[in-house]
Structure 1
Amino acid sequence: MSETITARLPLTRWQGDRGTYHLVTFRGAEAETLAGHALMHKLEFGKRGGFGSVKVMARIGATTWNTSVFPQEAQSEWILLVSRKVMRAEDLAPGDERDVTLRLL
């Protein structure tokens, strides 16, 4: 059975050199759960995903997609990128708070 994390998070806009990204950031207990899952996966399979990522099935509203979350700052924060397609489907704008569910794969 897969572990599931749900949190109400604000959508953040981040401007980088290569473009604009929209994301949500998992902190606290949710980040600890993701870090623990990453460690167990590494111990079981001996490898980690690119950039230390964890594969997930993400859901915001009625939109579900397969993606990865990425650790930040020694795994105390984890980032989920939200595509324009998801933003349009869920009528999201920076600053909007939504329930975000991750099923850890």
Structure 2
Amino acid sequence: MKVEFESELWVWDARRDETWTFVSLPVDASEEIRARAGGLRRGFGSLRVRATVGGSSWTTSVFPDSGRNAYVLPVKRAIRAAEALTEGDVTAVTVELLDL
């Protein structure tokens, strides 16, 4: 399953040092992922993905966020630097689930 969307980068409220910066997957895509995953999950409810932002691709995991009712994708510092992204920027994202 592959999801393409645009999302705003946000920093996890518990850590404002930009160590934990995320984008949120669309709610409808998150619901479809939950349905397809059917209980297949790793630690913290994560699912393995291949993510692409701009010209950068990497393997990571998405995590369920009950407050947003969506999966969230961490965007590591190296990717943000390579793509010149900061909190509040909106970017195009592609997420391909690896285990589904």
Report if TM-score (shorter chain) is over 0.5: yes
Contact 2:5–2:26 under 8 Å retained in 1: no
Contact 1:63–1:86 under 8 Å retained in 2: yes
Aligned-partner Cα distance in 2 for 1:87–1:17: 17
Matched, 1:78 2:71: yes
Aligned-partner Cα distance in 1 for 2:11–2:36: 27
Q: CA RMSD in A?
A: 2.0
Matched, 1:30 2:29: yes
Sequence identity, in percent? 33
Give every structure 1 segment of 4 or more consecutive aligned residues whose post-TM-superposition deviation is greater than 6 Å. Answer: none
State the secondary structure of the residue aligned to 2:12. Answer: strand
Count of paired positions: 97
Offset of 1:75 from its aligned partner?
Answer: 8.4
Matched, 1:65 2:64: no
Q: If you compute each CA radius of gyration, which structure gives the higher value, 1 or 2?
A: 1
* Structure 1 residue ranges without an equivalent (≥5): 43-47
**TM-score, structure 2 length as denominator?**
0.85
